[in-house]
């Protein structure tokens, strides 16, 4: 039998070379430089339930709409780099990448690692493995978890525990959106960017939250609708933006001046 196999291999050496190349490329995808760790569906559940992990589904719109993990953020692989700003607030959180079988999510995980995301996991077997394990899926949109505080915020004694969640609704080629994001970045504030030109449901969501406003950006700090870019800069000019963001104490908390 071994002799027959040897003869078969000799007669089909091109096939074995191709197989070796494929296995090598797969190995680089899964365990090469910058690769993310691979987790099973049961391990992904532990990350979601106990470490507040963000699930990012990189499948197509059609695949996602047919069923996805509850509260998964949908960012198709093809637009991941365009929408990576939406993940900036989650740099200190575990991120679990999911696709149909694990191949596209492995690519996505590699991209995020190269962009500086450290706690990145690829769910091996993808949604096929998730469904084989009889784990629940939904077709309803959900709410991603709150991002974990950054390490710098945790280590700083001056960091406020009242920093508000910031959400910015944007489109791709919007100079006012860029200007608003630049101000938030300058303040070191984590935020979630939601691109309404990629998802019509997000445009509807924005208009509902913004009481019918259709222009971008629309900025929300906690439960407060700030408005657009000019509105946020107006708060900055009046010295009120940091307080709204939770970056400084309110006047009531400031020490009183000693009486003369």
**Range list for CATH 3.40.250.10 in the chain:** 32-132
DSSP string of 18-86?
HHHHHHHHHHHHHHSTTPPEEE-HHHHHHHHHHH-PEEEE-S-HHHHHT-B-TT-EE--GGGTTTTGGG
* 260 — pLDDT class (breaks 50, 70, 90): very low
Distance between CA atoms of residues 223 and 211, nearest Å? 13
Please confirm, yes or no, whether 177 is among the known catalytic residues: no
What's the pLDDT score for residue 184? Answer: 93
pLDDT at residue number 258: 44
Asked if 196 contacts 147 with a C-beta cutoff of 8 angstroms, the reply is no
pLDDT tens per residue, range 146-205: 887 655 444 444 444 455 789 999 998 899 999 999 999 898 888 899 999 988 889 999
Please tell me the predicted confidence (pLDDT) of residue 259. Answer: 45
Q: Kindly state the tokens that stand for 239.
A: 């010295």
Domain with CATH 3.40.30.10 in the chain: 151-252
Q: Which of 99, 174, 177, 229 is catalytic?
A: 99
Listed ranges 4-18, 215-229, 245-259; the one with the highest mean pLDDT: 215-229
Q: Could you tell me which residue, 98 or 142, shows the higher pLDDT?
A: 98
Residues facing 214 on adjacent strands? none
**DSSP letter at 91?**
T
What's 32-132's CATH class? Answer: alpha beta
- CA 230, CA 233: separation in Å to the nearest integer? 5
User: Measured in whole angstroms, how far is the alpha carbon of residue 235 from the centre of its chain?
Assistant: 28
Give me the pLDDT at residue 129, please. 96
Q: Which CATH class is domain 151-252?
A: alpha beta
Provide the pairing of β-strand 54-57 with 73-74.
parallel
């Amino acid at each position: 039998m071994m002799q027959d196999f040897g003869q078969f291999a000799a007669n089909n050496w091109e096939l074995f070379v191709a197989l070796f190349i494929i296995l090598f490329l797969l190995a680089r995808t899964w365990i090469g430089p910058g690769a993310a760790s691979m987790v099973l569906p049961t391990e992904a559940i532990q990350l979601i339930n106990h470490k507040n992990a963000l699930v990012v589904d990189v499948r197509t719109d059609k695949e996602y709409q047919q069923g996805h993990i509850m509260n998964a953020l949908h960012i198709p692989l093809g637009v991941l780099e365009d929408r990576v700003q939406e993940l900036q607030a989650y740099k200190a959180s575990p991120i679990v990448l999911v696709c149909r079988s694990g191949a596209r999510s492995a690519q996505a995980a590699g991209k995020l690692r190269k962009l500086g995301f450290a706690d990145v996991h690829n769910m091996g077997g993808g949604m096929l493995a998730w469904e084989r394990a009889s784990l629940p899926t939904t077709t309803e949109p959900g709410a991603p978890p709150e991002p974990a505080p950054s390490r710098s915020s945790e280590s700083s004694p001056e960091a406020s525990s009242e920093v508000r969640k910031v959400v910015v609704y944007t489109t791709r080629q919007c100079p006012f959106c860029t200007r608003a994001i630049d101000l938030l970045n300058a303040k070191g504030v984590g935020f979630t960017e939601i691109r309404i030109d990629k998802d019509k449901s997000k445009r509807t969501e924005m208009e509902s939250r913004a009481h019918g406003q259709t222009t971008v950006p629309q900025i929300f700090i906690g439960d407060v609708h700030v408005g657009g870019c000019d509105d946020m800069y107006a708060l900055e000019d009046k010295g009120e933006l940091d307080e709204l963001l939770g970056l400084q104490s309110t006047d009531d908390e400031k020490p009183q001046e000693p009486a003369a």
